[in-house]
């Protein structure tokens, strides 16, 4: 919604209190749009409010606060994470470090030529990686890169 202040040049009624607004009086205008993608329908609605009515109230401010109460603002960006306790965080970091160590040893073992490769060690390291997944699952889930 776009909001601006202008002078009223055409007779109108306040969207907040419903009282008529005198010509030449300053008003708050609000314009909102709705675009429907499928049918390419575009429409707009313009509302006019008193800057201050005869009772000294700001109609546009009152209506804005009422709308905010009806439709409270919530953060929609990003993933909401629950903060783990310090103990869980420490356990998770320890498992991440352990997995990093296992991955280094696995890469080193896989870099050896085929003739000298120790397949039992590679299988053991693979089993340790699976255990790491099982251990980290209750502490915040398995990272997507694993």
Query: 91 with 58, same domain?
Result: no
Asked whether residue 77 is assigned to any structural domain, the reply reads no
For residue 33, list its beta bridge partners. 44
pLDDT, tens digit, for every residue of 29-68? 988 887 777 767 788 888 898 887 666 767 777 777 777 8
User: What percentage of residues in the chain have a pLDDT greater than 70?
Assistant: 94
Distances (CA, A) of 100 to 97, 105, 135, 143, 144: 5, 9, 14, 13, 15
What pLDDT is recorded for position 92?
92
Asked whether residue 145 is assigned to any structural domain, the reply reads no
Query: 95 with 58, same domain?
Result: no
Query: 91 with 131, same domain?
Result: yes
User: What percentage of residues in the chain have a pLDDT greater than 90?
Assistant: 34
Query: 50 with 105, same domain?
Result: no
Quickly list DSSP for 31-84. Answer: EEEEEETTTTEEEEEEEEEESS-TTS--HHHHHHHHHHHHS-----SS---PPP
Question: In this model, does residue 108 exceed pLDDT 90?
Answer: yes
> What residues make up the domain containing 39?
2-70
Asked whether residue 78 is assigned to any structural domain, the reply reads no
């Amino acid at each position: 919604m776009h909001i601006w202040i202008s002078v009223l040049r055409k007779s109108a009624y306040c969207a907040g209190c419903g009282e008529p607004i005198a010509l030449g009086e300053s008003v708050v205008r609000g314009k909102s749009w709705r675009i429907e993608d499928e049918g390419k329908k575009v429409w707009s609605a313009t509302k006019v409010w008193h800057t201050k009515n005869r009772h000294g109230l700001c109609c546009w401010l009152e209506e804005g606060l009422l709308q905010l109460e009806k439709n409270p603002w919530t953060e929609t960006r990003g993933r909401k994470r629950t903060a783990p306790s310090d103990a869980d965080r420490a356990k998770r970091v320890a498992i991440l470090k352990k997995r990093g160590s296992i991955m280094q040893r696995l890469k080193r073992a896989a870099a050896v030529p085929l003739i000298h490769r120790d397949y039992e060690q590679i299988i053991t390291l693979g089993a340790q990686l699976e255990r790491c997944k099982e251990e980290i699952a209750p502490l915040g889930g398995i990272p997507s890169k694993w």
